[in-house]
Structure 1
Amino acid sequence: MMHANIERYDSFLSSLRAPSSSTWTEAQESVLLEPYTYITANTGKKTTEKLVQAFNLWLNVPKDKLAVIIRVVGLFHNAGLLVDDIEDDSQLRRGITVAHKVYGIPRTINAANYVYFLAYQELSSLRPKVQRRACDSSAGSDSGLRDDSFTAENPDFSKRLISDRDLDLVDILWRDTLRCPTEDEYVQMVKDSRSSSLSIRNHFEHGYSETGMTMSLCPILIGIYYQIRDDYMNLQSDEYTGTKGFAEDLSEGKFSFPVVHGILDQPENQLIIDVLQKRPETPTLKHRAIEYLRDTTKSFDYTLAVLHKLEQQARGEVERLGGNPILSALLDKLHVDA
């Protein structure tokens, strides 16, 4: 016996033509975003936000646009962390279990993708007004500037916000093919990826700054310095062990800056390559690799020397641009002693 409700499908095509309201509710959105709210509830160091505020001392972006920029960069950054942790099979993020180990990979990917969508929605409020010439089709000629301004999204702004996600593919390719990059290739990858999200210069200078100031290469330099420091601390810092796990970069098979130096310093020795290939979870092989980088190739000494050179140049550029107390305080906090 057929159910009585079968009759509702008699004129189903007509019902599709009728306007309908969305059934998407705030409660459903809240459930979808749980992996994202889980990771953002435990805030990190907010270094990127601090950099935005620091650069804005020079650029003086209007407060409403600055607030949107901070939100958008935060959305992209944290959604990217959700995906990064899946790609790297990480165990900890900010000292707690990674989101995909709690909510599963499908839900975490869905949450990250939805947050990317929300970020692009936010971008719409940053579309600068540009005047376009109206064409009189009847006369076939240009009739001058229109009174009503046309708004168009700045493509470079969007490109820079997501370029760090695209360039992560290079890092993953090196890892999964076990090909050690040259030091120049590594620095270029960082310049094109990590520094693009940290150098908020590119998000300001296209129509948002009220001062018209150009910050030279200072943000890019700081971005490269920050990433190399992060690589060093991952293998040498007890604090990083507590928040991300012991030498997690080795478990991920990552060609970090000290690792690249160690491999290239003695290319005939396959120890580091063998450790990366095994993706060790237990500390024994990790300790062996770290001892090799410390004592044999002196890779940590080399990395520290590079960091001190980059820090010195960053401080010099900050002073050349007129000084910046927020950036100077951040560089003080990031300084690594020998």
Structure 2
Amino acid sequence: MDYSNLRKILHTPGWSDAQERTLLEPYTYISANPGKEFRGKLIDAFNVWLKVPEEDLKVVTRIVRMLHNASLLMDDVEDNSELRRGLPVAHTIYGIPQTINTANYVYFLAIEELLSLRDTTSKGKKKDVDVVGLVTDELLHLHRGQGLDLFWRDTLTCPTEKEYVDMVLGKAGGLLRLAVKLMMAKSESEVDYVPLVNLISVWFQIRDDYMNLQSTEYEANKGYCEDLTEGKFSFPVVHGVRADNSNRQILNVLQKKTTSVSLKKHVVDYLRDETKSFDYTRKIIVDLQNQIQDEIRDLGGNKYLEIAIKSLALKDDE
């Protein structure tokens, strides 16, 4: 390379397709092993009501998928996870620095994708919605929720149920709200579906917390009671700790971030038999499922959304 007149040949840094593929490897890895695609199903179901133009809907779906998978890359690093969907997590293969950089890069790729939505209209009717501001707002909520979750874990601070629900609205609700808000911005409908989205988000996370400590399927995909190894204040754990503040058994096990099956089984038995936390959690999940069904009915009914919710509804033996 000739450096004698470098100023004249320096422009935008060069970037090849091969370099792009290399940088995206951790993201490509996690994307190649999709989960149940529940968020994608919800987007399709809400579109029964919103009727977003096909091209706009494709963009929204891509944005949400990119942000979701990028956030999973970061979550696995922050939680020191070992398995994701039954396979080794990306950072154990590609390293923590590369995985973090890739996740951040994909956030910006999603913003770049978002710009294509700014000037499109729906059947000539343009809504005055700042989609970049909308997405930024929800990503702030997501990171605030994640930040609280990490703070509670790392300082062994048990939140109240109200604090837990507020955290979930940010961490778990952010991306789903983002998707539906973008769809609402590109729809002729004036109906506000955000309250329903919030209900679904809280139900989904509490159900996920319950299944992590109860489901053999979750054990196969993520490891036995992984939330206890992470030291996470999941919903059953919050109830169990708050049920008897004088008993520190749960807190002591969480603090250890143990991989011991016998210790984790002890906590599960305690939550089941002593504090009845699984009974309580199950009652809340079923109640939220009923509220969601009532809300869907009040909004005019949506069989595709009902099917999506029913697919994850707790069964009698769970």
TM-score relative to the length of structure 1: 0.87
CA distance in 1, matches of 2:162, 2:44: 30
CA distance in 1, matches of 2:183, 2:199: 17
> Does the 8 Å contact 2:70/2:104 carry over to 1?
yes
Task: State whether structure 2 residue 182 is matched by structure 1 residue 203.
Answer: yes
> Does the 8 Å contact 1:76/1:116 carry over to 2?
yes
Given candidates 96, 102, 105, the residue that maps to 2:87 is 96
> Does the 8 Å contact 1:262/1:293 carry over to 2?
yes
Offset at residue 153 of structure 1 (A): 5.0
Q: Which residue of 2 aligns with 1:316?
A: 294
CA distance in 1, matches of 2:140, 2:33: 23
Offset at residue 263 of structure 1 (A): 0.2
CA distance in 2, matches of 1:246, 1:116: 31
Given candidates 141, 145, 155, the residue that maps to 1:177 is 155
The Cα offsets for residues 14-54 of structure 1, whole Å up to 9 and x where unpaired, read as: 42144546421100110111111111111111011111111
> Does the 8 Å contact 2:82/2:92 carry over to 1?
yes
CA distance in 2, matches of 1:21, 1:188: 43
- Tell me: CA distance 1:35–1:154, structure 2 relative to 1, closer, same or farther (3 Å): closer
TM-score relative to the length of structure 2: 0.92
Given candidates 243, 263, 269, the residue that maps to 2:241 is 263
The Cα offsets for residues 148-180 of structure 1, whole Å up to 9 and x where unpaired, read as: xx9965412332245313320010000001000
CA distance in 2, matches of 1:31, 1:19: 23
Task: State whether structure 2 residue 107 is matched by structure 1 residue 116.
Answer: yes
Q: Which runs of 5+ in 1 are unaligned?
A: 131-149
Offset at residue 335 of structure 1 (A): 1.2
Count of aligned positions: 309
- Tell me: CA distance 1:87–1:216, structure 2 relative to 1, closer, same or farther (3 Å): closer
Task: State whether structure 2 residue 44 is matched by structure 1 residue 53.
Answer: yes
CA distance in 2, matches of 1:21, 1:196: 34
Q: Which residue of 1 aligns with 2:58?
A: 67
Q: Which has the higher contact order (CA 8 A, sep 6+)?
A: 2
- State the superposition RMSD in angstroms: 1.9
CA distance in 2, matches of 1:311, 1:336: 9
CA distance in 1, matches of 2:12, 2:151: 45
CA distance in 2, matches of 1:333, 1:230: 13
Offset at residue 282 of structure 1 (A): 2.1
Aligned pairs for 1:73-152 (under 5 A) are 73-128=64-119
CA distance in 1, matches of 2:193, 2:96: 40
The Cα offsets for residues 47-82 of structure 1, whole Å up to 9 and x where unpaired, read as: 111111111111111111111010001000000000
Q: Secondary structure at the match of 1:217?
A: helix
Q: Which residue of 1 aligns with 2:165?
A: 187
Offset at residue 297 of structure 1 (A): 0.1
> Does the 8 Å contact 1:76/1:161 carry over to 2?
no
Given candidates 212, 228, 232, the residue that maps to 1:234 is 212
Given candidates 222, 226, 233, the residue that maps to 1:248 is 226
Task: State whether structure 2 residue 205 is matched by structure 1 residue 221.
Answer: no
Offset at residue 213 of structure 1 (A): 2.2
CA distance in 1, matches of 2:26, 2:117: 27
CA distance in 2, matches of 1:85, 1:44: 15
Aligned pairs for 1:283-294 (under 5 A) are 283-294=261-272
Q: Which residue of 2 aligns with 1:42?
A: 33
Amino acid at match of 2:40: E
- Tell me: CA distance 1:285–1:151, structure 2 relative to 1, closer, same or farther (3 Å): closer
Task: State whether structure 2 residue 22 is matched by structure 1 residue 31.
Answer: yes
Q: Which runs of 5+ in 2 are unaligned?
A: 122-127
Identity of aligned residues (%): 47
CA distance in 2, matches of 1:38, 1:292: 38
Higher Cα Rg, which structure = 1
Offset at residue 183 of structure 1 (A): 0.6
Amino acid at match of 1:283: V
CA distance in 1, matches of 2:229, 2:241: 17
